[in-house]
Structure 1
């Protein structure tokens, strides 16, 4: 299949450029705002629209700070030890999902402590809303022609610009489908079934970790890191703890029979 070569810039206004990747972030947070408002009413959580907007502000800070710090620590610590000021150059790219997740967790826990909101129930709602943004973000990666997959002979392999002449897995689209659509539908079903609180949150951790681990098998590892022990990527190493914490959390919530 031919790579569509979509211009990553939607339009320009003088020196200002609106890019598809940034637009995906904006759409993701807009979707999160709507979903959080809806699920808060559905799960009878006392969250006004003003509180949701306030919560998202802290989550945005958590995503950016955690995502950047995670990339610095997990993916290129040697470079940033030599060039520490470059750690603040977020406009040059370099964000880690796992770092962003930790940043959001810290921000959400702090916000819950300040407002007295049930952190487990809020976590159930937040992770459900986050899946839309995850899927949109991967579509943004696809439009940018980055984070491509490994070489493949499958008929839907694509030749990405800058990735050599051989067709590769469009792994960004795989991730958009499984980590975005499939995971969202699974979590939404858990809300409909009104499972014990905490179960959707830990299902997200286990589900995303397992899906990311498997999809890393067809995703090209970072060139400056490669594979550990010639077989395991950094993404897989960071995803395994998510699976273990998620499974342990699901068992805990189910056995304790936490309120719905």
Structure 2
């Protein structure tokens, strides 16, 4: 072992009672949503929005994130499972070969993004009574921090692993029965998302960019999906045969490109004073 090589073998479960287990991955989601709620409260106070409307925002966001990410995973990466076992897609249980609590393992960030945008449209119309870009420009700040926690959860689960480094540098994922180091791609993304969070916090609190409708939302999309695009070069393909899906790009990269373009549009569109 060298100082640049880490034997990685944490138990994914904090504790287990029968088939029910509390996992680090689930705990990371709790951290993400709780800190997100705290940050949005600060933003609502700053924007002089009724705090009572925060409860609805929390519910909309949690439900949209879980449903969107879950459906996105199976639509983009495993559509056959969605057709064969639709109930196991939307419920945190496995029914065969025996009943078992599984949690929501198998979540796709692209699906979560679509789900949250749809939810924010409904929230802006039914509760907030403001344009959808107003809430999107603000919710992306805590979402960036939440993305960091999700990737830390992936690291604790030893999933979404990186490619072999072919050197003494990297993480050896002992839980997978391996003895060679891989790129800690989950950590690359987590650190990048923390930096993006810092950038968005600075732009929101220290500049007047939040007055430009869609700018923060666009900046978030450009930064996050660009990071995702480049980190994918260090990841193993999540679906066999998808490492060279279109033009030598894998699924995650192909799905990221249109979202980067969407972000650029909102950053540089004309007449974007809101």
Does TM, normalized by the shorter one, top 0.5? yes
What stretches of structure 1 move > 6 A for 4+ residues in a row?
none
Q: SS of the counterpart of 2:22? A: strand
Does structure 1 residue 97 correspond to structure 2 residue 109?
yes
2:271 match: 256
Counterpart of 1:129 in structure 2 is 142
Distance 1:75 1:223, change over 3 A: closer
Contact 1:40–1:125 at 8 Å: present in 2 too? no
TM-score (norm 2): 0.86
Q: Unpaired runs of 5+ in structure 2?
A: 93-102
Equivalent residues, number: 254
Asked whether the 8 Å contact 1:37–1:47 carries over to 2, the reply is no
Is 1:57 the counterpart of 2:55? The answer is no
Give the structure 2 partner of residue 221 of structure 1. Answer: 237
Alpha-carbon distance in 1 for matches of 2:29, 2:116: 15
Q: CA deviation at 1:64?
A: 1.3
Deviation, structure 1 residue 225 = 4.0
Evaluate the alpha carbon distance shift between residue 238 and residue 193 of structure 1 in structure 2; reply closer, same or farther with a 3 A threshold: same
Contact 1:75 1:225 in 2 (8 A): no
Give the aligned partner of residue 199 of structure 2.
186
Structure 1: gaps of 5 or more residues: none
Residues in 2 aligned to 1:92 and 1:102: alpha-carbon distance in whole angstroms: 18
1:4 Cα deviation (Å)? 3.4
Instruction: Please give the residue correspondences for 1:99-248 in structure 2 after superposition, counting only pairs within 5 Å.
Output: 99-115=111-127, 116-160=129-173, 161-162=175-176, 164-178=178-192, 180-191=193-204, 192-195=206-209, 196-227=212-243, 228-229=245-246, 231-248=248-265
- Determine the structure 1 residue equivalent to 2:98: none
CA deviation after TM superposition for structure 1 residue 223, in Å: 3.8
Measured after TM superposition, the shift of residue 139 of structure 1 is: 0.7
Higher strand share: 2
CA contact (8 A) 2:67 2:90 kept: no
Deviations 1:152-195 (A, max 9, x none): 135431221326433110000001000x2111011112112121
Contact kept in structure 1, 2:141 and 2:201, CA below 8 Å: yes
Aligned-pair RMSD on alpha carbons? 1.9
2:91 aligned with 1:79, yes or no? no
- TM-superposed CA distance for 1:12, in Å, is 3.7
